Structure 1
């Protein structure tokens, strides 16, 4: 298959949406937890979390355009300044997926999808108890994107994970806790570690055939 921009523009809308959402490959699967100023909890699935820097530790993710009736995640972050990022594992992918539903204001996805909220220390926003890797985030900046989406940048304030999934170099083994990735909008893949290579220096590049 070979497609030009003009051919893409003329495609069936749903087919094009699925295709373009898939061509970037496997994306991380995370639940983002928030709480409003009046203590209403919210959790929603995202596949756009990216690493921005290690010192200071920063992560970003993309919010869809905020309509006249915005979803809870972004207003909660802007009002309180805090949110959580929670890795999804195979044991609860169905529950995690259905957090993408548009629920009524005041209805919590934690309750509807039977996910357990967890508070750690005095961190304001709720974590997902089922998640093997939990990250507490503080909002730093929101950048409008040309397509109307918003790039949300946050500072890592707290990390909670099992000791056994980290090796002596600080590298996580995502397959050890059956972490999952997302292709497109609704297709999930298991993750298996295939290999690990050293930091690349030019004089150590092998001779490839």
Structure 2
């Protein structure tokens, strides 16, 4: 199949959302936990988290176009400048998926989707207790993406919480952590390690 821009623009809204959200391949499936100054927690499923650098340790994610109805996560980050990223695992995919609903600000997705808030000392934002791979983030900056009204939200890693056996030969083994991938709007995939290669040095590149 070959689709040009005109074909793509002609898709109905849901078909277009599903296809364009799938073309990058499998993406990490995470829940972002936040809280506002009134103590109201929020939880949102996000599949756009990307590595932006290791020193400092920066991660970014892309918000939906900002409206009063869908801006709770970003508004809470602006208030408190901290948030959490929590890997999704097979045991609570369904719960995590339904946090994507457009709930009112006074409804906590933690409670509505039967997930548990977890807090650690001196860090205000809630983690997801059910997740075994958790990241505490401090807000750094947000970059407006003017073409579609979204934002690239950038944060620095302040906390890392994961199982002792997640480190294998110096690498994080995402198969061992049972982390889940996502494609499109509603398809979830388990992860399986299929290969590992050494750090590339030019004089060690093999003949192919």
Corresponding residue number in structure 2 for 1:191: 191
Counterpart of 2:36 in structure 1 is 36
The answer to whether 1:50 aligns with 2:50 is yes
For the aligned residues, what is the CA RMSD? 1.1
The residue that corresponds to 2:132 in the other structure is 132
Contact 2:134 / 2:162 at 8 angstroms: preserved in 1?
A: yes
Q: Is the 8 A contact 2:33 2:84 kept in 1?
A: yes
| Post-superposition offset of 1:70 | 4.0
Task: Find the residue that maps to 2:140 and give its secondary structure.
Answer: strand
Structure 1 gap segments, 5+ residues each: none
**Corresponding position of 1:202:** 202
SS, match of residue 164 in structure 1: helix
What is aligned with 1:155? 156
Offset, 1:167: 2.0
- The 2-side partners of 1:10 and 1:84 are apart by 38
Structure 2 unaligned blocks of 5 or more: none
Q: Which structure's residues are more often strand, by fraction?
A: 2
Instruction: Normalising by structure 1, report the TM-score.
Output: 0.96
Q: CA deviation at 1:166?
A: 0.6
> How many aligned positions are there?
207
Output the CA distance in 2 between the equivalents of 1:52 and 1:79.
23
Match of 2:85 in 1: 85
The normalised TM-score by structure 2 is 0.96
| CA deviation after TM superposition for structure 1 residue 69, in Å | 3.4
